[in-house]
Amino acid sequence: MRSYHLLAILILINYCSSGQTLNLEQFTQDSLKIRRVKLVRPQFKLDNREAFVEGQALTINGIDAGVLLKDKLRFTLGYYSMKGSLKAFKKTVDSIEYGRLIQLNYGSVNTEIMYMDTRFLSLGMPLEIAGGTNTFQNKNITENKITSCETGVLIFANFGVSATFKPLRFMGLKGMVGYRKTIYNQVKDFNFDGFFTSIGLNLDFHELISDIKMFRLKKKYHRGDNISNVVDILTN
């Protein structure tokens, strides 16, 4: 009778160990499918830039959205706007202060070659072609009155280098330094050439979806508790 009990115990142990091996193999295969490189990955970025124009820093805010192809080429479309007062055009005549206001709205085609991409840091070389309209208002500041208005077309290119720090797989802080070169400017007395800096929040929706899938996969195969799994997925 004891021999039968021993045999049953050995069969049960063998069955459990086989099941665990199969679960581990299947878990590994499913994990690799989730984390594999995708041909197309949706991208989104909130952007804040400082454009240096004739010694003055002007703030440009915008967004872009598009795709990352094979983890090597980022292609997005963007929209940006800038509004401010141009210090270089300020003057005082007969105790009356005059100034010039600018409002720039433009769209852009943004490309970026990623030449290094690690878990926490990626480096790239962006090139953007942008076009929009510039609206200038000459203002009598003393009397708070607009004296004239002029609108013109502006086409320019941005190029430089970028670095993205990714504390989370799906979200990173992206910085850029580059130069802006005017291709066509309808308003001749305004020179838009100059350096610019950028800091923005970059979102990778593929990584966000992958993290959610990994959490569900770990839960399915009972790999650790929920809190540990969330921490591991976000930090690894």
Higher pLDDT: 142 or 47? It is 47
CA distance 226 to 207: 19
Residue 114's alpha-carbon distances to 86, 125, 128, 178, in angstroms, are: 36, 7, 14, 16
Query: What pLDDT was estimated at residue 188?
Result: 86
Confirm whether 183 is domain-assigned: yes
Q: What residue has token string 């690799």?
A: 32
Query: Nearest-CA neighbor of 97 among 153, 154, 145?
Result: 145
Quote the number of domains for the chain.
Answer: 1
Q: What is the mean pLDDT of the chain?
A: 84
Locate 151 and state its tokens: 């609108």
Q: How long is the chain? A: 236
Judged by DSSP in three states, 149 sits in strand
Q: How confident is the model at residue 32 (pLDDT cuts 50, 70, 90)?
A: low
* CATH code of the domain in which 138 resides: 2.40.160.20
Overall average pLDDT of the 29-33 stretch: 63
Provide the CA 158 distance to its chain's centre, in angstroms.
Answer: 16
Confirm whether 180 is domain-assigned: yes
Confirm whether 15 is domain-assigned: no
Confirm whether 186 is domain-assigned: yes
- Beta bridge partners, 134, equal 104, 152
Query: Nearest-CA neighbor of 84 among 104, 110, 107?
Result: 104
Locate 130 and state its tokens: 């942008």
CA distance 53 to 59: 11
CA distance 198 to 129: 16
Cα diameter, the chain? 117
Confirm whether 46 is domain-assigned: yes
Task: List, for residues 110-157, the tens digit of each pLDDT value.
Answer: 999 999 989 899 999 999 999 999 999 999 888 888 888 999 999 999
Confirm whether 230 is domain-assigned: no
Of these ranges, 92-96, 197-201, 211-215, the one predicted with the greatest mean pLDDT is 197-201
Confirm whether 154 is domain-assigned: yes
CB count in 10 Å sphere of residue 33:
10
Confirm whether 236 is domain-assigned: no
**198 is in which domain, residue-wise?**
40-205
